[in-house]
Structure 1
Amino acid sequence: MHKYDVDLHHNLKYDANMRHKTTFLSQPVTEAVKHLGSRLRIARKAAGLSLSELESITRTHRTTLGRLERGEDGVSIGTLFAVLEALNELSEMELVLSRPDVPKQLRTPIKPVLDQDF
């Protein structure tokens, strides 16, 4: 397998009209999206916000917000950023690609906060 080849996970879903909706995401991407959605739900609840309240803040329908929290694909990156802003987590996005100008293998690994000595 070439280093850029991806083992795709084929998901067969049905939309509201029972038409097949097929998405192709790798298993790691599928898991990461679900994990992110779960973390968004935790952050929303920790902020004391209901989906309806988050809907008012982000101007995004609560069904779309629910899809984001369930880790369903197809929610826009703009919606994700609006939710992150509403939850005061937008600044944390810098951690995703903290040094895009430096190849990953040359970056100094950042020690997770929980592993650091204080």
Structure 2
Amino acid sequence: MTLRAGIFGYPLGHSISPAFQQAAFDHLGIDAIYEAWETPPEKLGHAVASLQSGDFMGANVTVPHKQAVQQHLDTIEPLAASIGAVNTIVRDDSQLVGHNTDAYGFIQSLKREAKFEP
């Protein structure tokens, strides 16, 4: 079964995520497609709920939904909760879990490049 992932945002004309993520799937031999889901704010809840179907693996989240999406998730990872923004949704069995990978990446680069331990 081909898995699906994508990005929620509005508008999405600026996003390079679909091309970048699809190239990564293809390079790694992952049977998946990555789509752009231009989602107006009033349709966000319905769109997020659709991730519960069998072929979805998760999603990225961009403006203007990084805060509003939290109310539609089952669990928010502690770092994302402390920041108040979610940019990644992972489907873990029947749970939709929100993460913030921007913060993790920033912290890791501080540790590696600046030898900084926050």
Structure 2-normalised TM-score?
0.26
Structure (1/2) with the larger strand percentage: 2
Q: Where is the helix percentage greater, Structure 1 or Structure 2? A: 1
TM (normalized to structure 1)? 0.26
**1 or 2 for the larger relative contact order (CA 8 Å, sep ≥6)?**
2
